[in-house]
Structure 1
Amino acid sequence: MLKGIYLTLMIGPGVPLIAPQVVVDALTGVQVTSSKDRSGFQLTFAVAKNSPLITTMLPAGYFDPIITRVLIIVTLNGVPNVLMDGLITNQEYAPSNEVGQSVLTITGEDLSVAMDVLDMVIPYPFMPDEAIVNLVLAKYLVLGVTPLVIPPIIPVIKTAIDGWITQRGTDREFIKERARINGYVFFVDPGPVPGQSIAYFGPDINLPIPQPALTINMDSATNVESLSFSLDGLAKKIRLYTIYDPFTDSIPIPVPVPNVNIFKPPLGVRPTPPARFEIAQEGSELAIDEAAQTILGFMMNNSTAITASGSLDVMRYEQILRARLIVGVRGAGLAYDGLYYVDSVTHNIKQGEYKQNFTLSRDGLISNTPMLIP
């Protein structure tokens, strides 16, 4: 694709195989989006009316949704990077009167989409959340999905008198709901080796592995094409919970809670102060452990006041920017320089071109880090 950068495309039902040459020759664009919620991909093919993709492969089911698995791997400087391991969910064909201008577009999501196709009603009596999630995810081991389940900080186990947790809906909906209640996140991350993925259920943590800094407005050291920042003064808030004391169960206790995530501390010296105040509708009717779980969930599902977005050329950056890690920013000035959490990355790959769009976030102005990795 480019000097030192190679793209590998694998497609097939169940176990994907190297795409045949006719498919690779027709490929004009690859887009992969990775975020902290879910990931997706889109493949674009330029086809003629007598192309084997249209006359043979499409009718034979080569791009059939749900059953067809796609692996997208980019090798940079000899190191393979699994950008996507997912399933096709949609296909679009736009024929054209112009020769060779017809377009076939294939869209898909990561392997978590396999968890979102079957509604179920399943009770889980006397089981903690980590056991429930491991049990739900066990059926996807056949797809190479390995569970990584972090036990809740405040465990809640219902007794026979209280009832029990019951799944109503798809596996993905159910796991995401359990994650929200505990203040956790759930996503399926492809890799680190082809054919393997990690299903993560746990706190929203960006691995403390700093990537090479994104540099703007520094002459020859500049390695991004664009970068802009935004500070939302209404993003931070305080929520007032009311709980009853556990002894008499009659004395209301107001508990003001700021949405500060202990797993994602502010990366700036001047944290953004909360500007909104709201009263929680839940809490007073819950048991003390359930109320504590709800409050902790609010704190850990916090919003960040500062966001940044931009684009870069991988050849200039000399790395592949990865989501769910941290990255430094240089050249933006005293207020906005420093470390950021990488929330999402979109890979745009074409013949002879590899660019990325990204979004960053943090809370607080002025870097609290004295030095960045260039």
Structure 2
Amino acid sequence: MLKGIHLTLLLGPVIPVPVPQVVLDALTQVEVVQPDEAAGAFTIQFSLSVQSPLHTLFLLSGGGVVPLLRLILVATINGTPQVLIDGVVTKTEVMPGADQRHTTLQVTGDDLTTVMQKLEFSGLPGLPYPAMPAEAIVALLLAKYAFLGIIPLVIPSIAMDVPIPTERIPTQQGNDLEYIRMLAERVGYVFYIEPGPAPGTSTAYWGPKVKVGIPQPALNADMDAGSNVENLSFSYNGNARSLPVIYIQNPQTKVPIPIPIPDIGPLNPPLGLIDPPPQQLRQLPETAKYSPVRALLLGMAEAAKSADTVTGRGSLDVTRYGRVLKSRQLVGVRGVGPAFDGLYYVSEVRHTIKRGEYKQSFNLSRKGLISTLPVVPP
């Protein structure tokens, strides 16, 4: 690998162990995708001889003989380890290599959310959760995956809805992942599994999309020797925002009262000064038949889906940047002009690692033009 960068690969059923050096020597390319809300994925390629025992190992796991082949990839940069992916192998392929004596073995998989799709409850009566709000249901579902090192982080919603058993009993439909994501969507939350910080542990986050915190080192463009990105571009779409309107029915007059729900909250502040108002209204008339608390939660969920008006994309060399750019965090941008400089939310990161090369491509987003900060921190 590059100077100052060390790659560690752990593999095994349930509890992975470091692979021998011969496996790392056969490694030719690694690609890891870390999206904002969807599951993370990885693709690893090995250049192997025809008689290599790794064919048997990965092909058996891909065929389902090994029920759970877990893979952890750790990149250590300047002495700081960073878990890139903690997932499960789902598919293996053998492709022609550079010559007749070697083949390319490609291993693909997803993060640990794959394990949460194993048990399917569709077609069954459904598991009941009487008098339990969504937060308690999610914590109970995640507890069964503690053997994988998954630590639940469940953030209670602003307006917690505790169902009364005589009126409504929540029941599970589909697998655990589908049900957890459905509960998150109802209150405008997100759910994902973040690998690390230590190898073998992960954090299952169920809560609001957080766009506050300490930003990562700035991405510098067109700054001569200070530039640390290879390319960076931005676009602005003023018609991307909409305003949801919920209806709460007056129990005396039976008249529905419209209430607009803004998409700005304490954990989702505007990162730009100039942002156009919503260009259209999204009316939710079906909320009139729900309780005020449940209608408010549905309105907040729709407001959270409002698209960001400014998006950006680019790529960088990790050795030049000096660290790994992480998704789901803030990062500063400098050198692209006053309209687009400032803080952004990193919505997706793609790692591409080859021998002598470690690059990342990324997507950024925010609401509004012109930075809210007088000076972007370096």
Residue 169 (structure 1) shift:
0.7
In the superposition, the TM-score normalised over structure 1's length comes to: 0.95
- 257, 269, 278: which one aligns with 1:274: 278
Change (3 A) 1:330 1:131: same
What code does the residue aligned with 2:2 have?
L
- 359, 364, 367: which one aligns with 1:355: 359
Comparing 85-94 with 69-78, greater Cα deviation is found at: 85-94
- The CA distance in 1 between the partners of 2:189 and 2:361, in whole Å, is 26
- The CA distance in 2 between the partners of 1:27 and 1:319, in whole Å, is 22
* Superposed CA offset, 1:335-367 (max 9, x none): 000010111111111111000001111011011
- The CA distance in 2 between the partners of 1:104 and 1:147, in whole Å, is 35
Contact 2:10 2:71 in 1 (8 A): yes
- The CA distance in 2 between the partners of 1:249 and 1:139, in whole Å, is 47
Residue 207 (structure 1) shift:
4.8
* Superposed CA offset, 1:151-170 (max 9, x none): 12111121123221100111
Comparing 332-341 with 87-96, greater Cα deviation is found at: 87-96
Residue 52 (structure 1) shift:
2.7
In the superposition, the TM-score normalised over structure 2's length comes to: 0.94
Comparing 68-77 with 226-235, greater Cα deviation is found at: 226-235
What code does the residue aligned with 2:154 have?
V
- The CA distance in 2 between the partners of 1:346 and 1:100, in whole Å, is 32
Contact 2:62 2:90 in 1 (8 A): no
- The CA distance in 1 between the partners of 2:288 and 2:59, in whole Å, is 58
- The CA distance in 2 between the partners of 1:192 and 1:58, in whole Å, is 27
Write out aligned runs for 1:1-374 (5 A).
1-37=1-37, 38-54=39-55, 56-58=56-58, 61=61, 67-95=68-96, 98-99=99-100, 102-120=103-121, 121-245=126-250, 247-248=251-252, 250-374=254-378
Comparing 325-334 with 283-292, greater Cα deviation is found at: 283-292
* Superposed CA offset, 1:174-231 (max 9, x none): 0000001011111110111111100011111135121111011111111000111111
- The CA distance in 1 between the partners of 2:344 and 2:97, in whole Å, is 44
Aligned length: 372
Residue 61 (structure 1) shift:
4.1
Identity level (%):
44
- The CA distance in 1 between the partners of 2:377 and 2:63, in whole Å, is 43
What code does the residue aligned with 1:217 have?
D
* Superposed CA offset, 1:234-287 (max 9, x none): 210122322212x41601212233433442111111023222223224211111
Contact 1:46 1:102 in 2 (8 A): yes
* Superposed CA offset, 1:11-39 (max 9, x none): 11111111122321211111111122121
- The CA distance in 2 between the partners of 1:249 and 1:42, in whole Å, is 60
- The CA distance in 2 between the partners of 1:151 and 1:256, in whole Å, is 23
Contact 1:207 1:324 in 2 (8 A): no
* Superposed CA offset, 1:84-134 (max 9, x none): 111111112223583356321111111111101111331101111111111
- The CA distance in 1 between the partners of 2:70 and 2:110, in whole Å, is 10
Secondary structure at 2:264's aligned position in 1?
coil
What code does the residue aligned with 1:145 have?
I
What code does the residue aligned with 2:333 have?
V
Contact 2:212 2:268 in 1 (8 A): no
Secondary structure at 1:224's aligned position in 2?
coil
Contact 1:211 1:373 in 2 (8 A): no
Contact 2:91 2:108 in 1 (8 A): yes
- The CA distance in 1 between the partners of 2:291 and 2:131, in whole Å, is 17
Structure 1 portions without partners, runs of 5+:
none
- The CA distance in 2 between the partners of 1:294 and 1:268, in whole Å, is 26
State the superposition RMSD in angstroms. 1.8
Comparing 219-228 with 96-105, greater Cα deviation is found at: 96-105
Secondary structure at 1:103's aligned position in 2?
strand
Secondary structure at 1:283's aligned position in 2?
helix
- The CA distance in 2 between the partners of 1:370 and 1:58, in whole Å, is 53
